[in-house]
Structure 1
Amino acid sequence: MRDPHMDAPHIVIDNVSKVYQSGGREVVALRGIGLAVPRGQFVCLLGPSGCGKSTLLNAVAGFAPPSAGRVVADGREVAGPGPDRGMVFQEYALFPWMTVADNIAFGLEIKGARRAEIDATVARLLSMLSLGDFGQRYPKDLSGGMRQRVAIARVLALDSPVMLMDEPFGALDALTRRNLQDELLRIWAELGKTILFVTHSIEEAIYLADRVVVMTYRPGTVKRDLMVELPRPRDPAAPGFNALARELGTLVMEEQRRHQHDELRREAAD
């Protein structure tokens, strides 16, 4: 008999709003966000700076609870960070005094895993992410792309069913970014993770995602929720890819212009 739990959404974002104080005034970062993410789906949150993509991701991670509404992960309301939700940041966030292998092992050691399990997991992930020759190197010895591989491996070591990724490839050159995008797709297909991925790149969103959620400029709401029906592997030069890029580009530019208009109005008021 099929487990009905497997058919329930893996992540539910239920009417989430976020308000914070900045410079003595109230800022509404998110308003009434509602999303249900099925298990194993790859979702990209897309929009211009200031639309609340990272704020929403942090709410799912449990780093910044919503002011209203709730986030539910695997049937449990999110009340803080947890090992069921692994986070990959743009800044790598590696421990510079630890080797690559020790960085990957860190979470497992905190959990109290057995040494044999830790060593086997680290060896498997070093191989999976093409880091086999770098286990005893330090982060300072690695390129940006290699450091991000280590950051991804560290999250995978904990076997979190949900991966939350905040513009993880944004600071990389185009070739390295594409290589890591392909690595991430391979890992996602192999391990079946549920992924929420923040990006401001339209091409990256289409290349990676099953589904693209376009957010409005502040207050962040869902402007459009689109399934990407293009077959994989995806060709950025294909007509269907470019047609979708134009559609998403129109949506994002509408919000970018609204952002610019808001900034000009604020400067005039000051």
Structure 2
Amino acid sequence: MSAEIVIANASKVFGSGSGAVAALQDISATVPEGQFLCLLGPSGCGKSTLLNAVAGFTPLTEGAITLGGAPIVEPGPERGMVFQEYALFPWMNVEDNVRFGLDIKGVDRSEAAVTVDRIVAKLGLSDFRKRYPKDLSGGMRQRVAIARILALDPPVMLMDEPFGALDALTRRTLQDELLRIWAESRKTIVFVTHSIEEAIYLADRILVMTYRPGRIKRDLVVEIPRPRDTASGAFNALKRELAALVMEEQKRFTDAELHGAAVD
């Protein structure tokens, strides 16, 4: 199956009647196989709603999303999801967490062990494989969450602010690790972020979204060669351009907060 994602006229309304909230409106975009796409915008622009629709967690009100030409109507093993909250099982150690999806799939125990060994080594977790989540730093927990997805080897990775709660140094380390993994595997990645710098540092392409209802405000290809220098003139020129776009929507969000809650 191709890992190309096609989003066609996607709209999502939560609730009904006077309480209805339009989270997404008429979004169309094609994410080619192997592309690293970032969804960028302030809280309330529907980034996570769109990601959850691609994951199959949130059904659309109108429109459709396909993967390799097949409609997405529910979660599937070809799409791995990494959350900001790590989503690890606290009663399982690192290697058990990483192996969990393989056990659910019924993968032979010896074959699963080989896969787990390879993945934990790739992510620098070999010395922590018998540790439990409570004994790990935030960065290490997120490495385990990413390792669990990589063990299943899905062609698509969906990432919802996965580094948002980390300190700056750990965040950059994991960004570099993710880029290394992506360069090796060329998985299709859809990555949600509030950070303009993170989006520029990681993405092939950035979709800037408007405040509710979420629409595509700007579809921008990042042409800065990798590895990217965050202090370069090209990087900072693009950062200023995106900041202006995002701040327009942030102002709309701030104004709207005076009259009701946002949907992200």
* CA-to-aligned-CA distance 1:16-36 (integer Å, 9 cap, x gap): 000002896100000001010
Q: Find the aligned partners of 2:71 and 2:121 in 1 and give their Cα distance.
A: 35
**1:27 has 2:29 as partner:** no
Q: 1:157 is matched with which residue: 151, 161, 169? A: 151
Q: Find the aligned partners of 2:260 and 2:164 in 1 and give their Cα distance.
A: 28
Q: Find the aligned partners of 2:50 and 2:16 in 1 and give their Cα distance.
A: 18
* CA-to-aligned-CA distance 1:120-177 (integer Å, 9 cap, x gap): 1100001100001011111111000000000000001111000000000000000000
2:75 maps to what in 1? 81
5+ residue gaps in structure 2? Answer: none
* CA-to-aligned-CA distance 1:197-222 (integer Å, 9 cap, x gap): 00000000000000000000000000
2:91 maps to what in 1? 97
Instruction: Report 1:124-163 matches (<5 A).
Output: 124-163=118-157
How far off is 1:264 after superposition? Answer: 3.1
Q: 2:9 is matched with which residue: 5, 15, 25? A: 15
Q: Find the aligned partners of 2:139 and 2:17 in 1 and give their Cα distance.
A: 36
- TM-score, normalised to structure 1, is 0.94
Count residues with an aligned counterpart.
Answer: 261
Q: Find the aligned partners of 1:238 and 1:170 in 2 and give their Cα distance.
A: 24
Q: Find the aligned partners of 1:137 and 1:261 in 2 and give their Cα distance.
A: 46
1:38 maps to what in 2? 32
How far off is 1:259 after superposition? Answer: 1.3
Instruction: Report 1:86-235 matches (<5 A).
Output: 86-235=80-229
Distance 1:19 1:116, change over 3 A: same
Larger RCO of the pair (alpha carbons < 8 Å, separation 6+)? 2
Q: What's the RMSD between the two structures over aligned residues?
A: 1.5
Q: Find the aligned partners of 1:179 and 1:263 in 2 and give their Cα distance.
A: 34
* CA-to-aligned-CA distance 1:226-265 (integer Å, 9 cap, x gap): 0000000001000000000000000000001111222235
